Structure 1
Amino acid sequence: MFIKQFYNEENGKINISRQQASDFAKQIADDFNPIHNVDAKRFCVPGDLLFSIVLNKVGVNQQMHFDFCGMVTEGVELKFPEQYVESASVADDNDKAYLTYTASGQHSNCQTLIESLIRSYVGFSGHTFPGILGQLMKRNNVMINPARPMVMYESMDICLQRLDVSEVSLRFDMEQMTLAVDGKRGQAKLRFDFISGKEVIGHGVKNMVLSGLREYDQQQMEQICVDYQQMKDANQAA
């Protein structure tokens, strides 16, 4: 499985280097959030990499729920489930959980399906900001603090009607996306469909929390998008 190049495993524990986390974010998720840069002061492993490792180890189920409950920084050694179980957590030696997982329904270890699901979901998830969230914030006349953006990955659900397929793609419609604003806090629900051939075989939702919201400023948001694109272009040219 391609995902193994993005982590190290020894004595039943996994650690992820800055370079591996950064490579996954940029090469697989097309995500250029500076928090995943090798030299970032507030470095954090992408939550989608943890999700991908879980699927690689335990397989895929018809119903899956993931809660993201902590940021993985450099040097943290993690214990992952090694085989399919109905519920498990990804935790460190002090039993601090960074991700919890529950699953039900039919189960599959089809590597082609698992890789296809990982690539399609992570590719979508990596474009959450500024693309999807930017449109949602404009629609609701709010925006994050550009000096200190607070956007947190909270949870994710996947529901598949069938597993007897080898490949899936992901499709979304901006009209399915919602942002509920309560003062300076926002709850985003990013809904999507899984497609096999021309058939919709499943659905999912990514839940995110936005903090420190303020009134929407078109000029500031345009500058955020310009800065992000320049950073992306610089990384790709390096």
Structure 2
Amino acid sequence: MFLDDFHCLVDDRTVISADQASRFAKRIAGDFNPIHTPGARRFCVPGDLLFALVLARFGLSTRMSFRFLAMVGADRPLLFREDEQGGIGVYDDDGKCYLQVHRSGETTHDVEVIEAFTRCYVAFSGKNFPHYLKPLMEQHGVMFNPRRPLVIYDSMGFSLDRLDAETPSLALEDSSLEVIGKRGDVSLEFRIDGAGQPLGTGSKKLVVSGLCNYDAEAMDDIVSEFYRLKAEDAEA
């Protein structure tokens, strides 16, 4: 399984190192969010890696919703548990819940289908910045603090018409930003296709913290740094 390089199992716990988390963010998602860089003050495991691990272990269902409740630090042992109603939770040994998953409808455990869906969703999700967020922030005249950029994964969900698509694709349909003081709630609506045919729809919510006035020069510097890191990683 392609996720083997991005986590390890210790007894019945899943452990993700800072290096594994960072490599998943960069190599699989194309996500260069500073909070996924080893050594970052507020380092956290990408939510998309937890999403991918859930699908790999419990399958892909026609309707699923994911709620991210807390940030996962490096090397924290995690338990992936399913309850009697089919809900899934990701917990640490203290009982703290980091992710809640609800699902319904049919479920497939086809490894190829799950990997294809995971890869296409994570690649779409990794475009949060600058592709989706920059135009929204510019439109509303706000941006995250350039010295401490913080964009947090809040939730996502999707509904599929069928589970047999081996070459799915995702495309942004609509986006919005609601500014609430120093906080911004971002909503991304997406379309899911399979072999050129409609397959389903989904949505994703992000939270941008520490909003300040939009600074075009500062934003240009951040975008330039994003592409510098991307090019540097491609050469590694």
C-alpha distance in 1 between matches for 2:85 and 2:110: 16
TM-score relative to the length of structure 2:
0.94
Gaps of 5+ in 1: none
Report Cα offsets for 1:6-30 as digits up to 9, x if no partner: 1101321110112211111111001
Q: Is the contact between residue 58 and residue 83 of structure 1 (CA under 8 Å) also seen in structure 2?
A: no
Letter of the structure 1 residue corresponding to residue 222 of structure 2:
I
CA distance in 2, matches of 1:165, 1:55: 15
Give the drift of 1:82: 6.8
5 Å-filtered alignment, 1:169-180, equals 169-173=169-173, 176-180=174-178
In structure 2, relative to structure 1, the CA distance for the partners of 1:39 and 1:211 (3 Å cut) is closer
Equivalent residues in 2 for 1:20-169 (5 A)?
A: 20-81=20-81, 86-169=86-169
Residue 186 of structure 2 is aligned with which of 180, 185, 188?
188
| 1:132 Cα deviation after fit | 0.9
Identity %: 42
Question: Within 1, Cα distance between the matches of 2:202 and 2:138?
Answer: 23
- Aligned equivalent of 1:204: 202
Backbone CA RMSD of aligned residues: 1.8
Q: Deviations over 1:76-128 (max 9, x none)?
A: 00001379962121001111111111101111111111101110010011110
Tell me: CA distance 1:38–1:184, structure 2 relative to 1, closer, same or farther (3 Å).
closer
* 2:11 is the counterpart of 1:14: no
- Counterpart contact for 1:21–1:46, Cα < 8 Å: yes
| In 1: Cα distance, 2:211 partner to 2:169 partner | 33
Q: Measure, in 2, the Cα distance between the counterparts of 1:141 and 1:42.
A: 26
Q: Distance in 2 between matches of 1:211 and 1:116?
A: 32
1:65 touches 1:102 (CA, 8 Å); kept in 2?
yes
CA distance in 2, matches of 1:18, 1:214: 29
Q: In 1, are the aligned partners of 2:18 and 2:75 still within 8 Å (CA)?
A: no
Deviations 1:200-235 (A, max 9, x none): 111111101112222222122111111222222233
Q: Equivalent residue for 1:234?
A: 232
TM norm structure 1: 0.93
The residue correspondences of 1:207-222 to structure 2 (distance < 5 A) are 207-222=205-220
Unaligned runs of 5+ in 2: none
* 1:195 shift after superposition: 0.7
